[in-house]
A = this chain, B = another copy of it.
Amino acid sequence: MAQGTLYIVSAPSGAGKSSLIQALLKTQPLYDTQVSISHTTRAVRPGEKHGEHYFFVSEAEFCDMIEKDDFLEHAQVFGNYYGTSRAAIEQVLKTGVDVFLDIDWQGAKQIREKMSDARSIFILPPSKEELGRRLRGRNQDSEEVIAKRMAQAVAEMTHFAEYDYLIVNDDFDLALLDLKTIIRAERLRLGRQKLKYDGLITKLLAD
């Protein structure tokens, strides 16, 4: 059984990361590409499903998983825990499915250390002006809030060089094609192909 690839995707907000990943998953079948599902201790919101949006667990269960070192990374945000379970991801990878993980540079760093086979992709906006427009949104926020968002975006972008691939999201369709191109090329690597064509290779090399 071929082993899937874990993709870590990071970007400043305003680069279009979430839209790109959503568009990617829409065009790829579930048996082919999936997004990683996090564990969280926060309350279920209306419409959310366990195992689809999050794995909802109690604080005791979450702490138990931390102790068992089951998390590739975890963090506390506004009093709630969020984490990426190694077991949950490895179970999907084992079936040959590629898994996408939408995470910031700090989470990416932790995961890279624990999953050395993971590939990482950083997405950049096409210009500072366009980034400003996207962060400004519907013009409902104060200049102070927008300046803070921009500072956060720049801080995230200073880590672009820690990633394997770099995509500039100028034209959305081209950026989506870039993402697909990376996935397809990674599937042509020796390790994946050797497993996929195991039978053929044995026959070709037989006397």
Q: Which residues of A contact B (CB under 8 A)?
A: 122, 124-128, 131, 154, 157-158, 160-161, 163-168, 178, 181-182, 184-186, 188-190, 193-194, 197, 200-201, 203-207
Contact = CB atoms under 8 A, between A and B. Distances in A.
Contacts of A126: 200
A205 to B, nearest CB: 6
B168 A193 contact: yes
A98 B160 CA distance: 24
Contacts of A167: 188, 193
B178 A181 contact: no
Contact of A197 (B124, B181, B194, B200): B124
A191 to B, nearest CB: 9
Given A164-B190, A181-B185, 7 more contacts: A127-B204, A154-B207, A160-B201, A165-B185, A165-B188, A166-B188, A181-B181
Nearest to A178: B188
B197 A131 contact: no
A180 to B, nearest CB: 9
A188 B176 CA distance: 12
Contacts of A203: 127-128
A194 B168 contact: no
Nearest to A124: B204
A190 B161 contact: yes
Contacts of A204: 124-125, 127-128, 131, 154, 157
Nearest to A121: B188
Contacts of A200: 124, 126-127, 168
Contacts of A201: 124, 160
